[in-house]
Structure 1
Amino acid sequence: MKERYSVEEVCERYGVTARTLHYYEEIGLLNDVPRTEGGHRYYDERIIVQLEQIIRLKEVLGISLQEVKTIVELEAKLEQIRGAYRQEDKAEEKTKILDRGEQELQRFIDQIDSRLDKLQQLRQGFQQRLDRVKKLKETGAPQGS
């Protein structure tokens, strides 16, 4: 695998525009994009992994860029917590670090649950409408206008 990819290579490989890549960088989804001595962006393996995560979250889950950013930020926090945990020797401090990780994860799970509840309510509304349409078909809805 290459060490560096140009903007054009990344655009072609992932089906995004250069403007999209720049925008992701502007809003903090792609962090610390390296530059050549001439100031041109290039994409290394670390940035490619970030981009793949963004694309996967957007396309597979259908979530907004703000929600993608929230997930990316959570992952960064969790990585910091992991690093702090690994470097700490005292059991009491390790417990405090784990408590922070638990709080972050629970907060995010609560957000997911809230969104799932809203989606379930939306689904129920559409299901009720579908049921009414089916019932109208069964009872012989009036013809014409």
Structure 2
Amino acid sequence: MQESATRIGIGDFAHACGVTPRTIRFYEERGLLPSQDRKERMNRSYSADLVKRVERIQQLQSLLGWSLEDIRQVLVLEDQVATLRQQYYQTDSLQDRYHVLQEAIDLTTEQLQRVNQRMKGLVKLQKDLEDKLAFYQTLRDDKKFSSARDGAEQ
């Protein structure tokens, strides 16, 4: 993860991320954000680049419903891939670049397998809900409910 030279305090950082300072501290405690150095009067200071990381955490949590541990694992893999990207560009050796690419492929494959497992679970949940809905609609549309249905329409 590349650090920006601009450093901001926790309040401004939290505001830029659209979360509270408590959320930032919580993410640090859970290992989702790196612990920040405290300088001058023991205040934390944050790289402006970390805003994207918080946005990524929020995306994985709200849109996909992932647990914080799952998110932490994804972020660790993304950090490893970012490190590999730097290694790739720091060497001119084709053999070294090949090995870096293979490691990136392995890490990305691992992450893709996790996503596929989640998707299988979501597809199963969707199918179960569709089956329940069809069952309830079939019961509701049964002839014995016709008088109740006619009364509901009046």
Structures share a fold, TM > 0.5?
Answer: yes
Q: Which residue of 1 aligns with 2:43?
A: 40
1:87 maps to what in 2? 90
Please list every run of 5 or more consecutive structure 1 residues that lacks an aligned counterpart in the other structure: none
**Under a length normalisation based on structure 1, what TM-score does the superposition of the two structures give?**
0.83
- Asked whether the 8 Å contact 1:33–1:42 carries over to 2, the reply is yes
Gaps of 5+ in 2: 1-5, 149-154
Displacement after TM superposition at 1:15 (Å) = 4.5
Counterpart for residue 57 of structure 1: 60
Contact 2:13-2:48 within 8 A present in 1 as well: no
1:130 and 2:124 matched: no
Structure 1 residue 115 displacement after superposition: 1.2
Q: In structure 2, do the counterparts of structure 1 residues 83 and 141 end up closer, same or farther at CA, with 3 Å as the change threshold?
A: farther
Q: Which moved more, 1:7-16 or 1:96-105?
A: 7-16
Structure 1 or 2: more strand by fraction: 2
Contact 1:31 1:47 in 2 (8 A): no
Using the TM superposition, give the Cα deviation of residue 113 of structure 1 relative to its aligned residue in structure 2, in angstroms: 0.9
Q: Whose RCO is larger (CA < 8 A, sep 6+)?
A: 2
SS at match of 1:5: strand
TM-score, length-scaled by structure 2: 0.79
Secondary structure of the 2:49 match is helix
* Paired-residue identity, %: 25
Shift of 1:139: 1.7
Residues 106/141 of structure 1: CA separation in 2 closer, same or farther (3 Å cut): farther
